[in-house]
Amino acid sequence: MVDRTATRESTEGDMPFFSQRLRRPYEAMLARLHAGLAEAGFADRPPWGTNIFHYLREGGLRLTELAERTHTTKQAMGYTVNRLEEAGYVERVPDPTDGRARIIRLTERGWAARRVSDEIIASLEEECVRQLGEERMKQFDGLIKEVSSVLEENRG
């Protein structure tokens, strides 16, 4: 059995550690996504802001909710939102249910970047289907769902 408790990076020829097998395709997808966004005129978008665009689709959220959903601190999320706001991707508007609170939502520029992101990701998925075939992609999807289920069920 392979020792999977080590923290060193695997060397070429070794079987990558579990975390690397999960991380590598995600990082490759993000690199392609960011390159495509830059080509489409969104090079000023901070790359670490990628994860919040998904959560702002439905009209926006408070900063605390956004930080909670993205598993980050309010301070880190505040920094990210400030940068995205400076670049014109998000805006802060009054919360209609609480005059003291602010809602963070996508601007038109943010929605445009979101649409381009969706197109790029769809294109990457189509590329994988062409290279691997539909059956293998269905197997991959099923395995990813199973791995996610195991990891979510066994949270400490």
* For the chain, counts of helices (H) and of strands (E): 6, 2
- State percent of the chain over pLDDT 70: 87
List the domains of the chain with CATH numbers.
18-153 (1.10.10.10)
Listed residue (88, 90, 96) closest to 77, CA to CA: 90
Q: Bridge partners of 92?
A: 104
In one-letter notation, the amino acid at residue 120 is: I
pLDDT at 59: 76
- Would you say 32 and 120 are in contact if contact means Cβ atoms under 8 Å apart? yes
pLDDT at 3: 54
Residues 104-116 pLDDT 10s: 999 999 999 999 9
Q: How confident is the model at residue 56 (pLDDT cuts 50, 70, 90)?
A: confident
Token digits for 137? 């992609």
Q: How confident is the model at residue 99 (pLDDT cuts 50, 70, 90)?
A: confident
pLDDT at 4: 54
Does pLDDT of 128 surpass 80? Answer: yes
pLDDT at 83: 92
Does pLDDT of 88 surpass 70? Answer: yes
Residue matched to tokens 């769902």:
145
Q: How many whole angstroms separate alpha carbon 97 and alpha carbon 148?
A: 35
Please report the sign of the dihedral spanned by the C-alpha atoms of residue 109, residue 113, residue 114, residue 115: positive
